[in-house]
A and B are shown apart, each in its own frame.
Chain A
Amino acid sequence: MRSICLHFQIHQPFRLRTYRFFDIGSSHEYYDDYQNRSITKRVAERCYLPMNRLLLGLIKEYGADFKVSFSISGVAIDHLRIYAPEVIESFKTLAKTGNVEFLAETYAHSLASLNDTEEFKDQVDKHVQLMEELFGKHPTAFRNTEMIYSDEIGKKVLEMGFHVMLTEGAKHILGWKSPNFLYCSAANPKLKLLLRNFQLSDDIGFRYSNQNWNEWPLTAEKFAKWINTYQNQNVVNIFIDYETFGEHQWKESGIFDFMKALPKQVFAKTDFKFRTPSEIAEINQTISAISVPEPISWADEERDLTAWLGNEMQDEAFDNLYNLNDKIQRCNDPDIMQDWLYLQTSDHFYYMCTKWFSDGTVHKYFNPYSSPYEAFINYMNILSDFTIRVEEYIQQNSEEVPEQKVEGKEYSLLEPQRETDFDLIFTLSKKELKKALEKIDIKELAYSLYDKTEDILIDFKRKLPLTYKTQLEKLVSEIKRPRKTTIEGYRKKITSKLQSYFNLF
């Protein structure tokens, strides 16, 4: 039952336009539409569409023996929806074959997993919903932004209900161990880990068309032979950017022909089959646990976070961004929420990396700025404007609410005042609600909801995080005929918590 796990990462950031400090407060146009459109269209043309066709062909040819997996960031989907909707259709076609697994990740391909807020879970929820909506399946495996992983992140991922996660087979973590097995997290053994074989992955991703490489040209036959040398090792994880095909490695290099020929060679020369992450996690025994106290990633030689965080500029930008988190929870404006996501995309921090001063042709290649300083300045200008918008929004909305209260008192001084107060919980935005739930005892809430009508509850439950929702439903069903005073008591308690927290009722 030896398996090859072919996994493709698809991501396109919303590139920012040149945004001067005097735009702050006057323009809220942050994105370089021209660049975003032309790059997305180009990559769709050169990579996504032809490669999807190729994979579909292989699936039809080999059936159950050939499966692949994708993780497509939410922002990449947003790009495709606007600029190349036909690509989404072609992914749906792939999904229908049943041979393709779509993984969950953060919606914005962000670094939220490194931040101590609920934002990580929020974004994963949002991405999970998107995957369900597009491909009709609830993702069961997880791939974090750029394969970033640590014990702590693993814990959060497991809590969100995923039992398998992809990450880098970093040398400094594995030591003498081989990446070609199924591992689990030492801190949370229920979480299974697939570790990237960076040698083979980079042979395709980076070296394929490098004529100075002593293995050039790489053929499917040669590659299959290499795979076959892994005796008694049963999982080979090849994780690469999907854009490898046709964009990083040009069509002329023969990369498509290579991919087309690969399954045939693998089946002829080895006993490997192509399987998806969830499948592999299910059919294999974990061989050992690995411990990752400090985050790893698949980037650069260091395989750490230094491509995105660590220099003063990156840290300042990151801190400034996530300092907004609390305020964002109180916003319910679709534009603000969208920009909040797009500004979190990890690429913005990647552009600020100063490592390429010494080495980093890769950074330079993917960088629209001529220096990390320019990247930082531009980002900070935009973030300054965004901060102002968030603050203005909160100010405006906190002014309106007390007015409503005054109006309410004028029109009705009726007794069920308290009940109305509690009902305000149903008017909270998703973000606000999330914040409120931290303060509220879930059991008390369950009681408070006991005699509410079904249509109110449906709307309310939609705003809840998945795990919270299931827990709450379970609790509600366990309640047996409470007294009216008990319910009111809990409602009163929750209402006063909401009042003190939001300070606006």
Chain B
Amino acid sequence: MRVLMFGWEFPPHITGGLGTACFGMTKGLLKNGVEVLFVVPKAYGDESQEAVRLINASDVSIDIRKRENLEFWKKITYLEVNSNLVPYVGPEAFENLVETVELNETISESSIFSTQYSFSGKYGSNLIEEVSRYALVGAQIASESQFDLIHAHDWLTYPAGIAAKKASGKPLVVHIHATEFDRSGENVNQQVYDIERKGMEAADRVIAVSNLTRNIVIERYGINPSKVFTVHNAVEPVFREDDHVYEKQVREKIVTFLGRVTFQKGPEYFIEAAYKVYQRDKNVRFVMAGTGDLLEKMIRRVARLHMSSRFHFTGFLRGENVDRMFGLSDVYVMPSVSEPFGISPLEAMRSNVPVVISKQSGVAEVLQHALKVDFWDVDAMADAIFALLNYKSLSTTFSKYGASEVENLKWENAAKNIKSVYKQICHD
């Protein structure tokens, strides 16, 4: 079985959990005998190629002189116009093209137009634009490659997935790692929501990373439940060359929040719970690692609570610093308001750090050795933190069971479930 997979990023060039998940998944699929052609908007050349053939969308030429190519344009144009989302694919080029195509085919054929689009691969201001161009490339790749089905990750790649489906006639699976409701609460971006819904509707199967997300797909996007399946994420085992022990520089215990400082991650609940703990237990420091649109508000709130000398903001951490942060932490808290899955508690547990996670996270569905609280229940959150700091055997027990529980969440198993979804729609 061979899968054409559309992603947005791939390790080591990642900004969120999506790239890491895709990497683990492709490796897991390979172990299950599934071959993957992975397309990313921009390849840097140093990505891991161990499990996939990576295709750099920036390298794909779109020769619009070709007749078939024009048909993609039409299809894509059709898609775009119908959805009324993305008014153009390329800055000027697309507008021209649409016009040209509609006016007269012969004109376009006479114009010599071969181009490669360069993608930034970032979540930037001209994101919608890149998404659209990515769709074009998707169609082109689909027409040139051999595969059995298409698998697209998150809304950025859905137009590409849809285009590829139209170009090849192969079945499409869309994978929901997060929905617009998770990212923005009730203030959804209508454009993004519509792209998501189109993708889910066009798909033959929808895979959600948790039952929580599956319910959102069914209830908020009106997707037929019979085609929506939950496959929980997993984690890649890490083989650390040297098991570096980070030495703590402070006497106090450290409670950590690590993630984007945005609505979705619930940073304010962390601060309120921290305040309650601090009232009782002075032998503690809190760390908020990460950045985001709520950061300034959070700093102000901490100052107002007169906790600034014990509450630290580190900014965005990556790579080794993340490990170091876990190494220094006594408790990790993930108070997400809405977390489709949430991989970071698993990373903490792998470092033997006990975790408090919100019940509104997909990962709560698979973890037993974690304290689970409602994100809004700061009393319960504070209580959990306090207990982990003060009742020694609790963290001992977590260390004992936690790491092995995480080790058992293997991508190989998750990929098996993904493969069984594939099998429902394509018989090889």
B368 cross-chain contacts in A, Cβ below 8 A: 357, 371
Q: Is B235 an interface position by the 8 A CB rule?
A: no
Q: Is B181 an interface position by the 8 A CB rule?
A: no
Comparing A257-265, A376-384, A431-439, the segment that makes contact with chain B is: A376-384
Cβ B280 vs Cβ A377 within 8 A: no
Known contacts A312-B393, A316-B393; A22 and B387 CB within 8 A of each other = no
Bound Cα distance from A22 to B394, whole angstroms: 18
Q: Is B279 an interface position by the 8 A CB rule?
A: yes
Q: Is B371 an interface position by the 8 A CB rule?
A: yes
Bound Cα distance from A22 to B383, whole angstroms: 8
Cβ B391 vs Cβ A376 within 8 A: yes
Q: Give the contacting residue for A312; candidates B280, B382, B396; CB below 8 A.
A: B396
CB distance from A299 to the nearest CB of B (A): 20
Cβ A354 vs Cβ B382 within 8 A: no
Cβ B393 vs Cβ A373 within 8 A: no
CB distance from A61 to the nearest CB of B (A): 51
CB distance from B128 to the nearest CB of A (A): 43
Bound Cα distance from A453 to B390, whole angstroms: 53
Q: Is B384 an interface position by the 8 A CB rule?
A: yes
Cβ B393 vs Cβ A313 within 8 A: yes
B400 cross-chain contacts in A, Cβ below 8 A: 312
B369 cross-chain contacts in A, Cβ below 8 A: 357, 373
Give per-residue flags for A292-322: 1 if the beta carbon is below 8 A from chain B beta carbons, else 0: 0000000000000000000111011100000
A381 cross-chain contacts in B, Cβ below 8 A: 383, 387
The residue on B at minimum CB distance from A313 is: B393
Cβ A377 vs Cβ B384 within 8 A: yes
Q: Is B392 an interface position by the 8 A CB rule?
A: yes
Known contacts A377-B387, A380-B387; A21 and B394 CB within 8 A of each other = no
Which of chain A's residues 206-223 have a Cβ closer than 8 Å to chain B?
A: none
Cβ B397 vs Cβ A311 within 8 A: yes
A42 cross-chain contacts in B, Cβ below 8 A: none
Bound Cα distance from A381 to B281, whole angstroms: 13
Cβ A22 vs Cβ B279 within 8 A: yes
Bound Cα distance from A438 to B401, whole angstroms: 44
Bound Cα distance from A357 to B368, whole angstroms: 8
A20 cross-chain contacts in B, Cβ below 8 A: 379-380, 382-383
Majority SS at the chain B contact face: helix
CB distance from A316 to the nearest CB of B (A): 4
CB distance from B117 to the nearest CB of A (A): 51
Cβ B397 vs Cβ A354 within 8 A: yes
CB distance from B406 to the nearest CB of A (A): 14
Give per-residue flags for A363-385: 1 if the beta carbon is below 8 A from chain B beta carbons, else 0: 00000001101101100110010
The residue on A at minimum CB distance from B385 is: A21
The residue on A at minimum CB distance from B370 is: A373
Q: Give the contacting residue for A354; candidates B372, B383, B401; CB below 8 A.
A: B401
Q: Is B276 an interface position by the 8 A CB rule?
A: yes
Q: Give the contacting residue for A22; candidates B280, B372, B396; CB below 8 A.
A: B280
CB distance from A357 to the nearest CB of B (A): 6
Q: Which of A311, A315, A371, A377 has the most CB of B within 10 A?
A: A377
CB distance from B379 to the nearest CB of A (A): 6
Bound Cα distance from A236 to B369, whole angstroms: 43
CB distance from B91 to the nearest CB of A (A): 54
Bound Cα distance from A284 to B346, whole angstroms: 61
B23 cross-chain contacts in A, Cβ below 8 A: none
B422 cross-chain contacts in A, Cβ below 8 A: none
Q: Is B386 an interface position by the 8 A CB rule?
A: yes
Bound Cα distance from A380 to B395, whole angstroms: 14
Give per-residue flags for B266-288: 1 if the beta carbon is below 8 A from chain A beta carbons, else 0: 00000000001001100000000
A21 cross-chain contacts in B, Cβ below 8 A: 280, 382-383, 386-387, 390
Bound Cα distance from A376 to B387, whole angstroms: 9
Cβ A316 vs Cβ B387 within 8 A: no
Q: Give the contacting residue for A376; candidates B279, B280, B394, B401; CB below 8 A.
A: B394
Bound Cα distance from A200 to B401, whole angstroms: 37
The residue on A at minimum CB distance from B371 is: A373
Bound Cα distance from A259 to B360, whole angstroms: 48
CB distance from B280 to the nearest CB of A (A): 6
Cβ A316 vs Cβ B279 within 8 A: no
B392 cross-chain contacts in A, Cβ below 8 A: 316
The residue on B at minimum CB distance from A20 is: B383
The residue on B at minimum CB distance from A383 is: B391
Q: Which of B372, B380, B382, B397 has the most CB of A within 10 A?
A: B397
Bound Cα distance from A312 to B392, whole angstroms: 9
Q: Give the contacting residue for A377; candidates B379, B391, B396, B401; CB below 8 A.
A: B391
Bound Cα distance from A53 to B278, whole angstroms: 57
Known contacts A22-B276, A22-B279, A312-B400; A377 and B383 CB within 8 A of each other = yes
Cβ A313 vs Cβ B397 within 8 A: yes
B397 cross-chain contacts in A, Cβ below 8 A: 311-313, 354, 373
A354 cross-chain contacts in B, Cβ below 8 A: 397, 401
The residue on B at minimum CB distance from A314 is: B393
CB distance from B378 to the nearest CB of A (A): 11
Q: Which of A20, A21, A312, A381 has the most CB of B within 10 A?
A: A21
Which of chain B's residues 351-410 have a Cβ closer than 8 Å to chain A?
A: 368-369, 371-372, 379-380, 382-384, 386-387, 390-394, 396-397, 400-401
Bound Cα distance from A33 to B279, whole angstroms: 29
Instruction: Give the 10 A-B residue pairs with the shortest CB-CB distance, closest first.
Output: A312-B393, A316-B393, A377-B387, A21-B386, A20-B383, A312-B396, A313-B393, A380-B391, A312-B397, A21-B383
Taking A21-B383, A357-B368 as given, write out 12 further A-B residue pairs in contact, using a Cβ cutoff of 8 Å, ordered by the A residue number.
A20-B379, A20-B383, A21-B280, A311-B397, A313-B397, A354-B401, A357-B401, A371-B371, A373-B369, A377-B384, A377-B391, A377-B394
Could you jot down 5 A-B contacts, CB within 8 Å?
Answer: A373-B369, A373-B397, A374-B371, A377-B383, A381-B387
